């Protein structure tokens, strides 16, 4: 990897300590660390993979997801970019055209909009309009969602805007194990992937098998394209993804105490939607609640509900209900927990669907 000598380099600080050896075995890790290790493995495995974004270098990202990667791989591979989101994605497109696999970090969900044009008018359709000649193996990592007491534009859930755009894959891990695996699959994908990281869950720990072989890049049937039943039940299906999966599991625990058996599906992939897994579940339970943090109106839950109506109409005991954000801008943090779909609002929806 050569860069011309006159390119400005950051050499004003002492060298960082040598990176620790890559850990092995199954470890209990927070999601942020699992993502860090997934990125680290991807960088090590393919010299044409590079990370780019604001503050991802020496700082290690505002959430430290890229911590230590700058020291290990250098400023050609972990690139601190100008503060310009359209520029980050636009130049990533150019790098992809040259055969690189850029992984862009957008610092916060609300800051993806300056890059929205490049993502939707360029990145998503380069393969289509080139008749398949040009591939866009670009990952856009976006810490998204609320619940961390942040200020405006730091807690939004823009997934429906991307899921509505043909040509993009939109995924969101809900746990550390998936985060480790899915980020590597996303990087391996020849299609652009919007990789939504539930920032409110960054510090939640889970067991990660660091030796697990990476499943095939998605496209052929693989884990990344599939929803997963994360808890079996018989009375109601809750469909969730990203930050709301943990909430749904708590709801299932609480409902079990009252004698209600809830099945929880983690979508994992918002686009494409794994309709088959949802349909199989709802045909058994006859009831469904869909939940996400984004506003309900025109949200991804609407798509899930419509598909269930089309394919499970005679199996339904109740209309599909949705629990999510309201049709308001994301509110101030002091009242964000009234906006977010929490335990009580989900239980209320479960009760409503059972009352039909």
Q: Give catalytic residue positions.
A: 154
The alpha carbon of residue 280 and the mean position of all alpha carbons in its chain are separated, in whole angstroms, by: 24
Interface of this chain with other proteins, residues 194 to 233, rule: CB under 8 A: 217-220, 225
Site membership for other proteins, residue 12 (CB under 8 A): no
**Is residue 270 a contact partner of residue 300, using CB atoms and an 8 Å limit?**
yes
Tokens of 51: 């990370």
Nearer to other proteins, 2 or 328 (CB): 2
DSSP annotation of 218 reads B
**Is residue 229 a contact partner of residue 277, using CB atoms and an 8 Å limit?**
yes
Interface of this chain with other proteins, residues 22 to 51, rule: CB under 8 A: 50
Site membership for other proteins, residue 135 (CB under 8 A): yes
Site membership for other proteins, residue 121 (CB under 8 A): yes
For residues 63, 118, 175 and 270, what is the CA-based torsion angle, rounded to 10 degrees? 160
**Smallest distance, other proteins to C-beta of residue 272, A:** 4
Q: Is the dihedral of CA 229, 231, 233, 239 positive or negative?
A: negative
- Total interface residues for other proteins by CB under 8 A: 59
Interface of this chain with other proteins, residues 51 to 80, rule: CB under 8 A: 76
User: Which position among 98, 257, 314, 327 is part of the footprint of other proteins (CB under 8 A)?
Assistant: 98
Report strand pairing: 26-30 vs 205-209: antiparallel
Nearest to 272 by CA among 323, 227, 322: 227
User: Which position among 43, 78, 95, 294 is part of the footprint of other proteins (CB under 8 A)?
Assistant: 95
Interface of this chain with other proteins, residues 272 to 291, rule: CB under 8 A: 272-275
Nearer to other proteins, 6 or 211 (CB): 6
Site membership for other proteins, residue 246 (CB under 8 A): no
**Is residue 192 a contact partner of residue 138, using CB atoms and an 8 Å limit?**
yes
Nearer to other proteins, 48 or 250 (CB): 48
């Amino acid at each position: 990897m050569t860069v011309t000598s006159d390119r400005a380099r950051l050499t004003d600080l002492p060298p960082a300590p040598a990176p620790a050896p890559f850990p092995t075995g199954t470890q209990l890790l927070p999601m942020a660390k699992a993502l860090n290790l997934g990125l680290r493995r991807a960088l090590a495995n393919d010299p044409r993979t590079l990370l780019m974004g604001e503050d991802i270098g020496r700082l290690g990202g505002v959430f430290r997801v890229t911590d230590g990667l700058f020291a290990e791989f250098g400023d050609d591979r972990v690139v601190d970019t100008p503060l310009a989101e359209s520029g980050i994605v636009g130049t990533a497109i150019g790098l992809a055209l040259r055969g690189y696999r850029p992984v862009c970090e957008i610092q916060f969900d609300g800051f993806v909009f300056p890059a929205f044009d490049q993502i939707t008018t360029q990145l998503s359709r380069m393969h289509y309009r080139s008749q398949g000649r040009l591939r866009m193996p670009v990952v856009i990592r976006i810490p998204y969602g609320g619940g961390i007491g942040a200020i405006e534009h730091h807690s939004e859930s823009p997934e429906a805007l991307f899921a509505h755009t043909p040509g993009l894959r939109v995924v969101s891990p809900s746990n550390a194990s998936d985060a480790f695996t899915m980020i590597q699959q996303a990087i391996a994908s020849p299609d652009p992937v919007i990789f939504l990281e539930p920032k409110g869950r960054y510090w939640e720990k889970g067991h990660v098998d660091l030796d697990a072989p990476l499943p095939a890049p998605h496209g052929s049937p693989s884990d990344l394209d599939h929803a997963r039943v994360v808890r079996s039940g018989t009375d109601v299906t809750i469909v969730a993804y990203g930050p709301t999966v943990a909430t749904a599991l708590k709801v299932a625990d609480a409902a079990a105490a009252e004698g209600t058996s809830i099945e929880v599906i983690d979508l994992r992939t918002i686009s494409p939607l794994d309709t088959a897994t949802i349909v199989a579940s709802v045909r058994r339970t006859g009831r469904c609640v869909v939940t996400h943090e984004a506003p309900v109106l025109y949200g991804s839950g609407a798509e899930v509900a419509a598909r269930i109506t089309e394919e499970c109409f005679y199996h339904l005991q109740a209309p599909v209900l949705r629990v999510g954000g309201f049709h308001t801008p994301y509110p101030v943090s002091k009242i964000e927990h009234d906006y977010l779909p929490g335990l009580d609002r989900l239980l209320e929806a479960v009760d409503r669907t059972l009352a039909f």
